[in-house]
Homo-oligomer: A and B are copies of this chain.
Amino acid sequence: MLKPGATIGILGGGQLGRMLSVAAARLGFKTCVYEPGGDCPASHVANFHLQAAYDDADALRRFAQSVDVITYEFENIPTDALDILEAIRPVRPGREALRISQDRMTEKDFLSGLGLTPAPYAQIDTLDDLTAALAQIGTPAILKTRRFGYDGKGQARITDPAQAEEAFAAMAGAPAVLEGFVTFTHEVSVIAARGPDGQIACFDPGENVHKDGILHTTTIPARIPRSRQTDAVLLAGRILNALDYVGVMGVELFVTPQGLIVNEIAPRVHNSGHWTQNACPVDQFEQHIRAVAGWPLGDGQRHSDVVMENLIGTDADTWEALAKEPGTAIHLYGKADAKPGRKMGHVNRITPRA
Contacts and interface: CB of A to CB of B under 8 A. Distances in A.
A58 B352 CA distance: 51
B281 A350 contact: yes
Task: Quickly give the copy total for this chain.
Answer: 2
A29 B46 CA distance: 14
A304 B348 CA distance: 16
B320 A296 contact: yes
A324 B304 CA distance: 21
A44 interface: yes
B26 A331 contact: yes
A148 to B, nearest CB: 29
A328 interface: yes
Contacts of A28: 316, 319, 332-334, 345
A303 B301 contact: no
Contact of A332 (B4, B31, B45, B329): B4
A172 interface: no
Nearest to A352: B303
| Interface hub of A18, A28, A304, A331 (most chain B Cβ within 10 A) | A28
B301 A27 contact: no
Contacts of A332: 4, 26-28
B324 A282 contact: no
A334 B296 contact: no
A47 to B, nearest CB: 5
Contacts of A27: 319, 330, 332
A330 B278 CA distance: 15
Q: Which 4 A-B pairs have the closest CB atoms?
A: A28-B332, A296-B323, A281-B329, A296-B324
